[in-house]
Amino acid sequence: VVLHERDAELATPVGKWDTEQALAAEFARTLALAWKGQHSTELCRVLCDDVRVETPLWSFTDADAYEEALAEASAFFTRGDTPSAPPTLVVFSQERLRDGAALVRWQLGVEWPSVWRARINVLGESELVFADGRVSRVSERWHQTPMQVFTQQVLPRMRDVFSLWNSPTAEHVPIRVDETRRGYELAVLP
């Protein structure tokens, strides 16, 4: 069997990747629970105590602070006079990037606590770095900037005014665009 340079670079003992893949899946599962407000320290068990977390909104060097911020965000999106659905994190995929690192692709859906109940969908990914059987670094990227999410999905539009007391509310579904040429977009659908 002849391996190309890239294949040799990605070759790793099956057991190690299986462990890292299981850890990435557990991170995704516990992150989804944390966004739902079920933050019973399960996420902290997957993360190193001194984990480095970088997101478009937050930066942490401590697992407890990260989980606390997620709990506060979950509470923000579920409180209010009208009942709203809890935030939902849907994991699309996870893949190995290199030895000791994986990428988890996801979409977070939340309902903004406003009269028009804007449904926000953030398409993103978390790059995980592993050390000693836990996640030591999380680098989160969104496919829209926080300002784009706010202006395109939170601020009311005419359809929001017309559907003010209707259900379900109108929502924007983000799609990852890989390339744009001559007015056409190459998009990846989940």
pLDDT tens profile 46-89: 999 999 999 999 999 988 899 888 888 888 888 765 566 778 88
Look at residue 6 and tell me whether its pLDDT is greater than 80. no
Q: What are the tens digits of pLDDT across the range 145-190? A: 999 988 888 887 776 666 666 655 555 666 777 788 888 877 776 6
* Residues 63, 71 contacting (CB under 8 angstroms): no
Q: Where are the beta strands (DSSP E) in 41-163?
A: 47-54, 59-60, 88-98, 101-111, 119-131, 134-142
User: What pLDDT shows up at residue 80?
Assistant: 60
Q: What does R_g of the chain's alpha carbons equal in angstroms?
A: 19
- Is 59 exposed, middle or buried, given 0-12, 13-18 or 19+ CB atoms closer than 10 A? exposed
Give me the pLDDT at residue 134, please.
Answer: 92
Q: What is the pLDDT of residue 156?
A: 78
Residue 114 has pLDDT above 90, yes or no: no
Q: Which residues pair with 98 in a beta bridge?
A: 101
Q: How far apart are CA 120 and CA 111, in angstroms?
A: 6
